[in-house]
Structure 1
């Protein structure tokens, strides 16, 4: 028995269930499963020599879904099962898609087909929130979508957040464990979202979440909360706890020390605290260091350093390190050894500093060195001290020696020494002050002293003033005179001079000066020297006497001096002055040869004094003794006899007298009254000074003693003749 479709024999045993042959007695059946359009045709049964045929016609009905595609809700962690029932079998494949991606069979998804080929099943194992979405079934031209909703399991905190207490600068950990790892986490501090902030470390591993705060500050203290959410769940799950930060105080266990170092060298300022967790701040001159070129701030645990790669001027100052409750200070200063540029030293050593006497020598030497070195100037090995002529100026990078009104003695070796704790520098130079020469040396030796010539010799000056001596100038003056006169000049190779223009017996004084291009030296003066035997000025004349006095003239006379000085007196010089004045006026223009002179042209009622000077060939002698002062006035006549002398009253001890002025002579200026007791021979003045009036009472008399009286008038012209009482008077009433 064989079955044919058309002319092709059907291989029943290899049809994989497509065909099934059944025989019931003489009835033969061919069952065709999942009939399709391809199954249409003429089927023939050949049994032996018998052949039977029948035609199969397949009606093509449209394919459609028989399942209800309602949204599916499945609890998380369960298995979601989608079943699709077709109206007929089809050779077209059925494709499952989710979120645009085709679903393949794997550990998560299980795709199966029922035995009848009409039911397709998709199983999603252990569903998660991420499995939520629209699942699409496509077969041929048919498409259907079934929404899948995952109902989430509420989040539980297996280990909630716990309160934490730490010290400032310590690390704080806030951690918790949730019942699910598929959660979204937000961290809050005091109700504000801090998620993602750089100052926090956020960790999440599986179901465990942790917040780490490094180097806690006081402001980190507060309430922290973790807020958990999950997809497809509107609930917010929160766990909270408090973080307490205890303030931490620092103690300096090793402070900074002042630092001095050369320019460009590295330097370090170091502070050690008792707590490596604490930070600090560095300040320079009270200002916080934010950025300083060449400076690095280093923290190594509890050790805080300020590192300088190369110290410069901008790094000098006072540095302060401040940490909470602690502070340390130090000064960084550049300490360069003093240095003078070699070119300056070469220039100073090559030629001296030259100035003229009276000018100002200014020697300025620049240098380097910090801190500023001690500046000391030396001259000829002795330290230079400042005075009104010498000033030492000091600057940060130079020093200047100023010598005003220079003198020759300022010449010499000058040395500058700069000294600091870092070292010493020295500069040497020579100062040359050019001046006129010093005076010739020693005492002048007189080689000849005759009536016709005076010859002298001297020595050249010890110091030529820095310039070659070119000549010597010789001057002389008469002994006792002030004016000098030049008598000769010799060149510098000669130190001998002869003066042949001298007067015999005359005394001379010489002085010698050395000459160079700067001028003449101070003079070397000789003692007085005579040309031949010495002649002296005459001695003093006698004190002048004055006679023949009138208001405008008087006669002055004197006697010659006792000594003429070795030469005849040539004449006299008469001088006058007003009494009380120091100015003498010479009366005569020419020498007086007589010893008497009438002086006229006087001023009435002025007192005059006179003196006489004798003169010989040697000169004028000493002035005579000054005459007595004489008033220029016509002569006054002495008064005449006093008239009418009489007794006006008497007592036991006194007698009163009266009189009248004289009629002859000039007016008296007073009266001289004299008294003599009867038993005495000498007359006594009744008063020490003349009596001004014409009455007088003589007291202190002895009772009943007889007394005699006489009186004279007196004035500038003299004393008049006396008038005497004719008889004695008894001292009684």
Structure 2
């Protein structure tokens, strides 16, 4: 049961810990045990057992360091599963952490604090046990039980005496090793803590003005003054700007005592007089500087006990006259945009001596078009002249400005003259299919599926048309970010036509047209067998169709012809045979005759005729190919064909079918011979 396994296991140090897990699955199953991510293998204190449906982990003589996450991992060819539990080994705590810090020292008490044990042994510290020793004696005095807070205030002290303390942490699992404090003297004054780092107020060639804050810890007495130090950049030597001289006056004996141990004690009162030179306020004008040199400063507070801990160093500052703010940045523009970020680039401002100095950094601000408040993108000055603004809302509009800055302050901001839209750079729609057919023949009842891939930014508006009219609801359109598909599940003859797709976005538009021809289903029937003559002259059961094709696209002409014996097929363009022309791809498969032109050009315009001929007769089918483009006029025909005179060559329709019997064929040949 996983819920049982995941419950934490607690054992005492030296005891054994057992983890069991039952499982089911297809063999072979690989079982692995881990502790804190490290695999456990059979060892002196580790034993892994496995049977068909169960695995057990035995950890013997556990130690505190064995505490951690226990994980079992099961794996077979179908997958991997894991379960995690927690092992806690209980032991006595580690010693309290020192050194002890004196928080108060007076003639009547010593108060100090320490840190809890680094490792509580798995159980919280209930209390501390403490002993005290007066320095110079060999005996330790028990101070009793102290609550779990790591502080103690000892009021049973003698003025001027020094004491040491031993501290033990106690938990439910036992008592830790002891921690011994340093000597603490009752009645001593504490030194002040460090002030805040000095702040440069202003800088000139011959003077640097500083200010700082008083320390939060004054050491139990008032601050008498401060010691200020300076250091040149690159040097390890701190030099004092003002000195503090310690003078001891009024030394005298006020009492002498002789305790039981035979050691006499003399009590002295020392009056410490501090003479501070120069700095008693929390500011200073440092005039001992060299123009052009870079300095840093630190400050130390002084109270009745003397100087305390020094502050952290200030920032480096040049001893030089203030700089002029820089001018506006040049050529602010975007180099990259997306739905969530854009990248700004610019050129640093020009330097004009006495008017505007060199820029040392830049700040970038943005605001949304519907807001009046600017938001700063960087908290510290940017050194480079480019910046990526991230975390934008797609398609939102943003105003941008960049401000150059140096030690003299911020210059005027340069703002872009138009807002930026959080979107990729506009890309004109473009079809990406490797091969795009402009003609499709489908049998009625079959599906029509046209899939076109494209790239565009932003996403384009997609529209499908049939013969320049939006497609009906029986046509299913599926669009994605990079493709569009037209689907007619079951086609009909009425679905024949020119299908066009229009892609349009901010960058432009693109169109593509495809002719779909839906033919009737071929129905095969098997009549009763009769012995009869099946020979017949050629007949076009599906004639050629008129073609209007854009320049540069492919054109596919097809028709169907029957005849027995199998007729010989010849293609003509403007009465010139095309059977040997390599620019045209001609095929004849089971009576379906086709002609393919890969890239239609003006030279391909004209009348196309297919002639089928066998010993019983001849048949023709003709059509016209118009190429759509600039300055191209469609071909007009004026000859008329009469259904009563199939050998008449005059017609006006671009599609015609002409059939001759064998007798008419022979008569036509005789006329040609006479001519």
TM-score interval for Structure 1 and Structure 2 normalised by the shorter chain: under 0.3
Larger Rg: 1
Q: RCO higher in 1 or 2 (8 Å CA, sep ≥ 6)?
A: 2
Normalised TM-score (structure 1): 0.24
